Structure 1
Amino acid sequence: MKCWVAGLVWLAVTGFSVSAQAAEPPAPAPHNRAEAVKVIADLRRVVADGGIERLESVRIGGIDQWVSIRGNDRRNPVLLMLHGGPGWVAMPTSWYFQRGWEEYFTVVQWDQRGAGKTYVANDPAQVAPTMSRERMIADSEEMVAWLRREFGKDKIFVMGQSWGSYLGLELAQRRPGWLHAYIGIGQLTNAPESERRGWAWTLQQAREDGNAEAVAELEALAPYAPGSAPVPLENLFKQRRWLNYYGGMVHNRRGGDAEAAAITLSPEYTDQDVAGIWKGNDFSMQHLLGEVLTLDMSAVRELKVPLFLFEGRHDYNVSSELAAQWFQTVKAPTKQLVWFEQSAHEVMIEEPGKTLLTLVQQVRPIAERAGDGAR
């Protein structure tokens, strides 16, 4: 009897082996960007009945601006993500962190004016005079209005990360009737104080590390970000160099090299788009960043929409400590602060599982209660 059973097991194992050998051999590993992108694009292709997968330009603010729209069911709530920077696009890394969201939301990634695919699609010389905070807010309002019309939704969700959290908070104040809720990641509050705290933390890390080069370079910046005057970008970049080195942007990583590499695998981006990302990032920073770092949004004391903050415990790029202090002072119909204990500034990339769970369990029910979403 034992021999008979053993024989069946042997047949099953060898039979599987024969079947595997008879099957078509697996595709070879990709050797270049085009091959790698094809693998990623096919793996995450939206095949669900009633799904949506669009990549297109929309006329916003008088220029063509690019969006990616993806989801498994058009009936789901719409979630617009406002990327950081200015100019640090999220569309080309969304293939990594976003796929799970698409089962519960129709997710919109938008390359803002002066950034990413939108930068490449337009003449920088013509766009440059329009690069202002008010124009960017107006673009955001136009984008939300277009999505509401396009999908027949009274309200959508808006998520703002870093610089995008400034735009998102402005939207929440100006157009509360258009939003189910506002979600801030790496929320900008008192920017000058955030800069000072980031510099002080970085200097402390450098001293503890015995890094004489970093200490000398950081001490030479003192007094750093005094008052509310714009920080010269040259000084800012020196501070960020060492802040990133010590994990103040991505926890336990020395900078955003992994994220930058992931950008090159984006199915939404052509080779020309990838080459233009860094030009667009520099272009946007030169026109917007200095002024942004003078802002103090902690004066906002009341919102008329539900508020969520997703904050990395180790975020010193935009101080999560200051964001938490502001959260305690602001009034909203409902509000929730969610700490991500293993993250710094890139919460959705550093803890994608917890981000997904929080969106599904805490955020989406607001739309469901309003009758918006597939059942």
Structure 2
Amino acid sequence: MISTVVMTSVAALAAPAAGTLAHRRFRQARNARLIRIDTSNGIDEQGFVRIGGIDQWISIRGEDLDNPVMLEIHGGPGSSHSVYGPRTRSWEKHFTIVRWDMRGTGKTLGRTGADGQGEISFTRLYEDALDVTRYVRNRLGVDRVVLVASSFGSVFGVRLARRHPDLYSAYVGTDQNIHDAGRDDSAHRALLARLHAAGKRKEAAAVEGMGRDARAWTAEQHAAYAKIAATSDPLTFATMKTVVMKSLWFSPLHSLRELGDLAKGMKLSAKLLPETAAFDDWADGTRFDLPFFIFQGDRDVLTPPEHAKRFFDAVQAPVKGFALIDDASHFASFRHPEQFLNLMLTKVRPVVTDGAASVAS
């Protein structure tokens, strides 16, 4: 849901001033050294795997293959997590991290171009996620993996976790996106109040013109709403500049051409937003037969923590836990990777490694 803001910035990065390229190369080289894994039982594997009839990019990294496996489902739609490797390097000491560029996204898109992506729909990507899960289980020889889904990825995540507890040892949602078939318009009202208070009449008129029911919005309106919401909130906008854009620009895994692929993928994947707008997480069910956690930014205006907490309170699960990440908007786990890691180590890892039954508060 934040892909338009990223896409605009990526397009600018892909055509930089000549004087910035040397600094970029220096930082890329430093980040490449930072993410190097050379432990005896570690893994650093990136490449293309045949998933759903096309080659899709998957990365598997960690310092110890005996650690729990964490499969990430990225958001956007189309917003690859592969750029955040240097920021989350410490996670790989405790988990084997699997990152996947979805169909129509990032390196998967760059492999064969838009015409080679096949169908891009929620159902198709959901089936891809199941295939990726099965591939990872077979590749690493594990029965189940920790499913970590963020932002738009959490729309997939809750459905995967609800229907397939046999595949996942726990569900962790961050920037958790809750759909309720349009019943709650508090985020829309809060955005209008913020815009009017700031004297942003043009933006307020645009948001008012969309109406409060996101189920009726076009893909372009979903994108415009997310852009206005992100850029009108100081913390979200600061996070975009200092966390997201720097991670993109200094990624050791991406060439300038591949930054362009990221931008193209976000635009291509935006068609998923109207398709999912009418989803209803409550109607689909609040029972989960696996440990269920939500770690949300305490000041997230895009996926407000109040929405996530209401859903969490209704969830029935063998173990569940909710926590706020301090001083965080959207992209909470990447703004404060050490806070997120601490929650994973204190609340999630004991459950998936020891079967602990204590409920995190």
Identify the TM-score tier after normalising by the shorter chain: 0.7 to 0.9
1:341 aligns with 2:326: yes
How has the CA–CA distance of structure 1 residues 172 and 187 changed in structure 2, closer, same or farther, with 3 Å as cutoff? Answer: same
1:255 deviates by 6.6
> Which residue of 214, 235, 244 maps to 1:251?
235
> Which residue of 166, 191, 194 maps to 1:202?
191
> Which residue of 72, 96, 103 maps to 1:81?
72
The number of residue pairs the alignment matches comes to 335
1:214 aligns with 2:203: yes
1:39 deviates by 1.4
Q: Is the 8 A contact 2:56 2:101 kept in 1?
A: yes
Deviation per CA, 1:312-346: give whole Å up to 9, x if none.
Answer: 12222123211110111110011001112311221
Deviation per CA, 1:222-272: give whole Å up to 9, x if none.
Answer: x2326xx3411232233223211222xx73535723312321211222332
Show the counterpart of 1:111. 101
Q: Is the 8 A contact 2:222 2:273 kept in 1?
A: no
1:308 aligns with 2:317: no
Show the counterpart of 2:51. 60
Find the aligned partners of 2:157 and 2:205 in 1 and give their Cα distance. Answer: 37
> Which residue of 206, 209, 213 maps to 1:225?
213
Query: Which residue type is aligned with residue 344 of structure 1?
Result: S
> Which residue of 262, 285, 295 maps to 2:279?
295
Find the aligned partners of 1:191 and 1:255 in 2 and give their Cα distance. Answer: 27
Q: Is the 8 A contact 1:230 1:291 kept in 2?
A: no
Find the aligned partners of 1:230 and 1:147 in 2 and give their Cα distance. Answer: 37
- Normalising by the residue count of structure 2, what TM-score does the alignment of the two structures yield? 0.87
Q: Which has the higher contact order (CA 8 A, sep 6+)?
A: 2
Q: Secondary structure at the match of 1:176?
A: coil
Q: Secondary structure at the match of 1:81?
A: strand
How has the CA–CA distance of structure 1 residues 261 and 80 changed in structure 2, closer, same or farther, with 3 Å as cutoff? Answer: same
Find the aligned partners of 2:43 and 2:63 in 1 and give their Cα distance. Answer: 6
Q: Secondary structure at the match of 1:220?
A: helix
1:213 deviates by 2.7
Find the aligned partners of 1:195 and 1:260 in 2 and give their Cα distance. Answer: 31
Show the counterpart of 1:35. 26
Find the aligned partners of 1:154 and 1:296 in 2 and give their Cα distance. Answer: 30
Q: Is the 8 A contact 1:65 1:118 kept in 2?
A: yes
> Which residue of 240, 244, 252 maps to 2:226?
240
Query: Which residue type is aligned with residue 81 of structure 2?
Result: A
How has the CA–CA distance of structure 1 residues 252 and 63 changed in structure 2, closer, same or farther, with 3 Å as cutoff? Answer: closer
CA RMSD of aligned residues (A): 2.1
Show the counterpart of 1:16. none
1:143 deviates by 0.8
> Which residue of 365, 369, 373 maps to 2:354?
369
Query: Which residue type is aligned with residue 338 of structure 1?
Result: A
Find the aligned partners of 1:48 and 1:30 in 2 and give their Cα distance. Answer: 32
Q: Is the 8 A contact 2:239 2:331 kept in 1?
A: no
Find the aligned partners of 2:259 and 2:47 in 1 and give their Cα distance. Answer: 17
1:332 aligns with 2:322: no
Find the aligned partners of 1:356 and 1:343 in 2 and give their Cα distance. Answer: 14
The share of aligned pairs that are identical, in percent, is: 28
Q: Which runs of 5+ in 2 are unaligned?
A: 1-19, 357-361
Find the aligned partners of 1:252 and 1:289 in 2 and give their Cα distance. Answer: 20
Deviation per CA, 1:274-332: give whole Å up to 9, x if none.
Answer: 1210001100112x111122211122220101000011122221232111101111100
How has the CA–CA distance of structure 1 residues 132 and 349 changed in structure 2, closer, same or farther, with 3 Å as cutoff? Answer: same
Q: Which moved more, 1:56-65 or 1:211-220?
A: 211-220
How has the CA–CA distance of structure 1 residues 252 and 187 changed in structure 2, closer, same or farther, with 3 Å as cutoff? Answer: closer
Q: Which runs of 5+ in 1 are unaligned?
A: 1-28
